[in-house]
Amino acid sequence: MNLNHLIETELKESGANFVHFVDITNLSGKENKNYPNAILFGISLSPNYLQHLMNTPDYVQMMIQNNSDFSDDEFYLTELQTDELADKIAQLLIDNGYKAYSHSEKNQKETGFLDKINLKTPLPHKTIARMAGIGWIGKNNLLVTPKFGCALCLGVVITNAPLKTILHHPIQSKCNNCNICVEVCDPKVLKGHVWNLNTPREDMLNVHKCTTCMKCLVFCPWTQNYINNENGK
């Protein structure tokens, strides 16, 4: 079994909806830690969960007010799952004699790759996803994909393992004149700009005022398409 197939099988058997192998040699050393390849995988959120968020506009605020630890929240659990899988794949590669770095939140914090004050990292998951050709950066500053909308949790491992990568052309933004995410954002942190390679995050949103209500994720028309398609509408 070749290495690509081994990794893809391991991830898909663990719940990943897709796996991509991405050449990241064109990124700076600060971004890719001088590793040539990245493994990107994603797990989608369920339509039932998304529908619940739609039906409960103050979902996050209610959880906070009730002092919930979010331990039964699907988004939280799926984020944990992708992080655990990233750590697992990195260790698999290391056990096979390669170097690898997991982009799990825990590992990025422990190694200082995550700026905890400004809540940013030199290599966001969505950067790899865009390079993999699966989506674009929306006006909500989230990855938007034709199949799942924004309803994805992503995992990334970077490595020097000799993986077979496929060159993809990034998808251009399809947000056009749509401003639904901006309109549903209660704290008004989204600035309504169409992203491009030269757009700093600060021009997209005020991350420090974001309440993570997830309305911009759920009400994105592409997420709505995913919900309707999964529900057979």
Cα 114 from Cα 145, distance rounded (Å)? 25
Place of tokens 């004050």: 117
What value, to the nearest 5°, has the Cα angle with vertex 129 and ends 56 and 217?
A: 15
pLDDT digits (tens, 9 = 90+) for 15-65: 999 999 999 999 999 999 999 999 999 999 999 999 999 999 888 888 888
Q: Which helix (H) or strand (E) holds 193?
A: none
pLDDT at 195 over 80: yes
pLDDT at 170 over 90: no
Report the phi/psi class of residue 230: left, alpha or beta, with left for phi > 0 and alpha for psi in -120 to 50: alpha
User: Cα dist. 211→18, 189, 192 in Å?
Assistant: 29, 9, 17
pLDDT at 233 over 70: no
What value, to the nearest 5°, has the Cα angle with vertex 175 and ends 170 and 178?
A: 180
How many Å separate Cα 123 from the centre of its chain? 11
pLDDT digits (tens, 9 = 90+) for 147-166: 999 999 999 999 999 999 98
What is the percent of the chain where pLDDT is above 90? Answer: 85
Cα 191 from Cα 43, distance rounded (Å)? 28
What pLDDT is attached to residue 128? 96
| Three-state SS at 67 | coil
How high does pLDDT run on average in the chain?
94
For range 170-199, the mean pLDDT? 94
Place of tokens 């969505």: 126
For the record, the structure tokens of 108 come out as 């990025």
- Other CB atoms within a 10 A radius of the CB of residue 117 amount to 7
What pLDDT is attached to residue 118? 85
pLDDT at 232 over 80: no
Closest CA to 21 of 41, 44, 43, 42: 41
Cα 153 from Cα 105, distance rounded (Å)? 12
* Domain ranges, ordered by start, for the chain: 3-230
